[in-house]
Structure 1
Amino acid sequence: MFSRRIKIFIALSIAMMVICVARLAQLQILNLPYYREQVVKLKLERSRTRQINTLRGIILDRKGRVLATDEPKF
């Protein structure tokens, strides 16, 4: 009784491993040009620079006196 269950378990395990290996082969070998194109697009997006507005306002003490102001320095 247990030997039949073990054989079924082993067969299912091997089938799942074969499916995983086939999927990995599909992703890494068959779809290689698609993923290379995606990598190039991502590299181009990351290399762009953009300026971010960093104005934060004035820092005051408890009496309302200015401690620090935000001045852009370029």
Structure 2
Amino acid sequence: MDKEKLRQMVLQYLSNAGDEGGKRDSMYEYLKDVLPQNKTEEQKLRSLGDLLKTMKKEDLIWTDGRNWFEK
């Protein structure tokens, strides 16, 4: 799955989460079926974390503690 599709899915998830925001583990459960199947669970979680950090740097999302929010 390409990163742009994953980014759109993360934004959609956070949009649906609203004021509560979303935790990485919950996002992982939402995305795990579309993440590369040849990676271990730990690698998938790390790649999701990397994607979230990148999106934060790009000012698309923000974090408050362990919760992520759409801008």
* Same fold flag (TM > 0.5): no
TM-score by length of 2: 0.28
> Relative to total residues, which structure has the larger strand share, 1 or 2?
2
**Which of 1 and 2 has higher RCO (CA within 8 Å, sep 6+)?**
2
Q: Which structure would you say has the larger Rg? A: 1
